[in-house]
Amino acid sequence: MEKKAVEVKDLCVTLGGINILQDVNFYLEEGDFLWIIGPNGGGKSTLLRALLGLLPPDRGTVKIFGHTPRKARRYMGYVPQHSNFDPKFPISVWDVVLMGRLGKMGLRPFYTSKDRRKASQALKMVEMYDHRNDHVSRLSGGQHQRVLIARALASDPGILLLDEPTASVDQKVKNNLYDMLGDLNKKGMTVILVSHDIGVISSYVEKIACLNRRFIYHGTGELSTEMLEATYQCPVELIAHGHPHRVFQWGSEEGQ
């Protein structure tokens, strides 16, 4: 695999006649942890879908480890904002995580011992192995998210993409999930995380980008007032910053 895990050049995506992404440029090396923030409708989920090869660009290129997204899907694990299966469907945690191996099966009609081993390893990584026989409907919000992450990890990815993985969980669960992602990143996993959780996640990541149709990115972990104001298009006052948290006040007093 190439050293550059992700390389995006002049990416433009239009949906329904609306320009969602405009001239996006950035690259990541193996082992980077990128956090993407931006307003709702700013194109964050669209960018992830373009990286996965689910949306063809109108212009520009996307390379994952030097390959097109379609050819590189075996390198990527994806955790969507909303799960795509019915929680009432009679399926166990173990079966959900094994689904992460489907892309590796090819024409095989059955799971191999390697598939089961990868699923077991993924469940242990997210501390859900003891729940492997539980029905997914019995899980808490945080446990459910861990299972979705395990499903992505079971594919043995080089890159993990997560779209608002903590949107429906409490702060303690958020911290635990971020700790887990930090540990995975330290072990060499490249992570791209979309999240609004400015108060916590900024202490975990190496690189920060803002996205609102245009991608504002300097290749560092610094999140400046100028970047935020350009992204959210409103005044931003930096109240406090540094490890472990950054805190911002949005808008002006007149707008509150």
Which of 83-87, 154-158, 200-204, 206-210 has the highest mean predicted lDDT (pLDDT)?
154-158
- Per the structure, the complete domain to which residue 188 belongs is given by 4-255
Q: Which residue did the predictor score with more confidence, 45 or 167?
A: 45
pLDDT at residue 222, rounded to an integer: 66
pLDDT above 80 for 120:
yes
**Is the pLDDT confidence value at 198 over 90?**
no
Measured in degrees and rounded to the nearest 5, phi and psi for residue 136 equal: -60, -25
Tokens encoding 116 = 């089961």
pLDDT of residue 108 exceeding 80: no
**According to the model, what pLDDT value does residue 252 have?**
43
Q: Is the pLDDT of residue 131 over 90?
A: yes
- Count of structural domains within the chain: 1
199 vs 15, more confident? 15
Residue 4, strand partner residues = 29
Note the residue count of the chain.
256
Measured in degrees and rounded to the nearest 5, phi and psi for residue 240 equal -155, 155
pLDDT band at 122 (very low <50, low <70, confident <90, very high): very high
Q: What is the CATH number of the domain that holds 28?
A: 3.40.50.300
Backbone angles phi, psi at 221, to 5 degrees: -90, 10
Residue pair 190/28 in contact (Cβ under 8 Å)? The answer is yes
Is the predicted pLDDT of residue 193 greater than 80, yes or no? yes
Cα R_g (the chain), whole angstroms: 19
According to the model, what pLDDT value does residue 202 have?
Answer: 65
pLDDT of residue 6: 96
Please state the pTM of the whole predicted model.
Answer: 0.81
Grade residue 39 by pLDDT with cuts at 50, 70 and 90: confident
* Rounded mean pLDDT, 34-38: 89
Q: Within 13 Å and on the Cβ side, how many CA atoms surround 22? A: 7
Q: Which residues of 63-91 are buried (b: 16+ CB within 10 A; e: fewer)?
A: bbbebebeebbebbbbbbeeeeeeeeeee
**Regarding predicted confidence, which is higher, 96 or 1?**
96
Q: Give the list of residues 6+ apart from residue 241 with CB closer than 8 angstroms, or none.
A: 247
Work out whether the CA dihedral 47, 159, 175, 200 comes out positive or negative.
negative
**Residue of 26 and 199 predicted with greater confidence:** 26
Q: What is the mean pLDDT of the chain?
A: 82
Q: What is the DSSP letter of 14?
A: E
Strands 18-29 and 33-37: unpaired
Angle between helices 171-186 and 141-153 (to 10 degrees): 20
Return the percentage of the chain with pLDDT > 70, whole number: 79
